[in-house]
Amino acid sequence: MMRQTALFPSLGGFLAIACTLAIGLPPCTMAADAGQQITVQPADNGQALVNPGMGWTLQFYSNSIENYGSHLEPSDTLDDWPGLSTIYLRVPWSFLEPQEGRFNWPLLDTPAQRWVAKGKKIAIRISCCEGGWRYATPKWVRDAGAKGIDFEFGKGPRPDGPLWEPDYLDPVFLAKLDHFLAALARRYDGNPNVAFIDIGSFGMWGEGHTGFGCGLTQAQTLQVVKKHIDLHVKLFHHTLLCISDDVAGPSRPGWHFPETDYAISKGVTLRDDSILVQPPPNSWYHAEMAQAFWPHWPVILEHEHYGGSKARGAWSGDLLVKSVEDYHASYMSIHWWPRVELSENRETIDRINRRLGYRLQLKSMTWPATIAAGRPFAVETSWANAGVAPCYGGGFWTLTLKDEKQGIAAVLVDEGFNVRELKVGPPGQAPVEKLRSQFTVAMRHRDPLGLHAPPLKPGRYTVFASVGSLDGTPQIALPLAGDDGQHRYRLGTTEVTQPPPGG
C-alpha cells in the first residue's frame, strides 16, 4: 500500500457527486461513471459517546459505601445514563486492609465487574482521613506506632476528639502505606479496566485538606505532596494518576503553584472536586490551574453532592456546562443518587455530552466511484474535534471495504495523521483538518506476489470509515449513523474493477 497524507485545496474542486446527510440518516451514495467521485458529508447525530479517556463517572462509593450506588440492584448498570464510562470507587484505607496484610478486594471488584462486563472502566481513590470514621487509616497503623492527632470535625485538634488524622510524614505510617499501595498496584496498575487512580492518601476525603486536624503549613503541605506523589509514581507506572487541586489551597486562584507544578513534573494530572460547592461567583477556583494540565492529560471534574449544592443555591446547569469549557474537562462526576440527578438535569447532561472530552467528527469524505485494482486511488477526508480536550490516546483513520456478505475485504490505514493532533475550539468552531490519503488494492490473479495486497474480486463493496489503532482495529466511537456494531461507519459503496489491459 502506498500512502500519502497532505492538505488539499478547496473541496469543491474534487467533487463530482455530493450528498449531504441529515442527522440520524445513513450516508447516501450515488452511482457514478469511472473517474467520478462520491462525496458524503455526515452529520453529527448528537448522541452521547462512550470513549477511552473521557465520560461521566458514577460515584458508586463516595467516601461512604452507602453513597451512591447502594440503591442500584446488582443487575442495574445505569445503562440509561448517556455517556457513562467510569465507575468511581472512593473508600477509606481501613475498609480495604482491616488487618495488616489481609485485604478486602471484593469491596472494589464486585461493583467493578458489573460495569467491566459492559465495557466500562473504574477509577479508585483510597483515603486516610474522613469525617465519618475515626480510623480511615487502619487502627492497626496507629497501634504500630504511627503518630497522629485527635480532632473534631469543624473544630480542630482536641485530646479526646472523635477523629484521628495521621502524621503524613511519619515513617511508620509511610512504611505501612507503601506496603498497601504496592498491593494495590499489583492488582490495578496497568489493568486495562482502570481509567485512573487518585493520589488521595492525605488530607480530609483524600483531597489534601489538613486544616480540620493537623493543620499543616504551606511548606509542610508541599513536603507531604511531594512525598505522596513520589510514593505513587514509584509503584504506578502504567495507569494515569491524578491529584486534587486543593493540595495547593482550596480557594487560591492562580496559574502555577509549587504543589501542582510538582505533579506536572511527575506526569500526574489534575482533578477538581469542588465544582458548584459555593454559589456564584465562587463556583470554582482553579480553571486557570487546569490550563497547564489539559493539553497533556485528561482533567477530571467532580461537582458537589447535587442535593447539597441545590440546598445552598450553588447549583446551575449552565455553570456546570461552563466548568467543562473552562477546565477543558474530560471527565465529569455523577455525585448524587444517579437517576434523581439524571431526571432533573437531562438537558444539561446532553449539552455536556456534546463537549466533554473529545468528539471526533468526520466532516466529509470523497472517494472514487470506481477503483481500478492495482492502481493507487485517493480518498479525501475532513476531520474536526468538537470536544474541549484532545483525544489523548490518539488514533488513525481507516478505510474498510466489505463485500456483499459484509465480510471484511480490505483494511486500509492512513498512518500519516494522528487524531491526537486535532485542535479544539469554542462550540461550533473546531478547526477542520483536511487530509488526502492514498491506497491500493489488487486482484489475486493479476498480482500473484501480493505486492498490492489485499486481493479483491471484481464487484461492489461497501465503504466504511473508522478511527483506531494502527492495525485497523476501531477503538473510538464517532457521532455517526451506520455503525456496524464495532465502530466502523457505513458511508456508501464503490466498484472494484479489473485494471485495463496493460494497466
Cα Rg, the chain, nearest whole Å: 26
Domains in the chain, CATH or no CATH each: 11-48+363-497 (2.60.40.10), 55-353 (3.20.20.80)
For the cut 50, the answer to whether the pLDDT of residue 140 exceeds it is yes
The most distant pair of C-alpha atoms in the chain lies apart, rounded to whole Å, by 96
Runs of H (alpha helix) within 279-428: 287-290, 306-311, 317-327, 338-344, 346-353
Comparing CA positions, the residue from 327, 336, 342 lying closest to residue 303 is 336
Nearest to 323 by CA among 260, 256, 259, 271: 271
Report the pLDDT averaged over residues 351-363: 98
DSSP code for 342: H
Q: Which of the four pLDDT bands, split at 50, 70 and 90, describes residue 90?
A: very high
Q: Which of 172, 206, 240 is nearest to 91 (CA)?
A: 206
Q: Which of 138-147, 151-160, 207-216, 259-268 has the lowest mean pLDDT?
A: 207-216
pLDDT bucket at 449, cuts 50 / 70 / 90: low
Weakest mean pLDDT among 155-164, 204-213, 380-389, 390-399: 204-213
Q: Give CB contacts under 8 A, 24+ apart, made by 421-430.
A: 422/358, 422/360, 422/383, 422/384, 422/385, 422/390, 422/391, 423/385, 424/328, 424/358, 424/385, 424/387, 424/388, 424/389, 424/390, 427/325, 427/355, 427/386, 428/386, 430/361, 430/384, 430/385, 430/386
Distance CA 99, CA 163 (A): 19
CA distances from 251 to 148, 156, 222, 420 (A): 26, 19, 16, 33
The angle formed by the CA atoms of residues 144, 145 and 147, to the nearest 5 degrees, is 135
C-alpha cell at 62: 463516595
Report whether pLDDT(342) > 60: yes
Q: What is the 3-state secondary structure (H, E, C) of 416-432?
A: CCCHHHCCCCCCCCCCC
Instruction: Report d(CA 259, CA 289) in Å as an integer.
Output: 11
The pLDDT, as a whole number, for residue 25 is 37
Q: What pLDDT is stored for residue 328 in this prediction?
A: 98
Which three three-digit cell numbers place residue 56?
461521566
> What's residue 456's pLDDT?
87
* Runs of H (alpha helix) within 333-434: 338-344, 346-353
Report the pLDDT averaged over residues 198-202.
97
pTM over 0.75? The answer is yes
441 pLDDT above the threshold of 60: yes
pLDDT at 445: 60
pLDDT tens digits for range 25-56:
344 433 344 479 999 999 999 999 999 999 99
Q: Evaluate if residue 60 carries a pLDDT over 60.
A: yes
Residue 8 has pLDDT above 90, yes or no: no
Q: What are the pLDDT digits (tens) for 295-308?
A: 999 999 999 999 99
Q: What is the mean pLDDT of residues 388-407?
A: 97
pLDDT for position 23: 31
Residue 497: name the closest of 453, 461, 454 by CA: 461
The arithmetic mean of pLDDT across residues 480-496, rounded, is 97
Q: What nine digits make up the cell of 47?
A: 448522541
Q: What is the pLDDT of residues 297-341, one digit of tens each?
A: 999 999 999 999 999 999 999 999 999 999 999 999 999 999 999
For position 31, what pLDDT does the model report?
Answer: 37
**Which pLDDT score, from 0 to 100, does residue 446 have?**
58
CA dihedral over 230, 235, 236, 242, signed as positive or negative: negative
Q: Which residues pair with 90 in a beta bridge?
A: 62, 125
Q: Where are the alpha helices (DSSP H) in 154-291?
A: 171-188, 218-235, 258-265, 287-290
* Mean predicted confidence (pLDDT) in 465-479: 98
Amino acid 452: pLDDT: 61
Mean pLDDT in residue range 447-469: 83
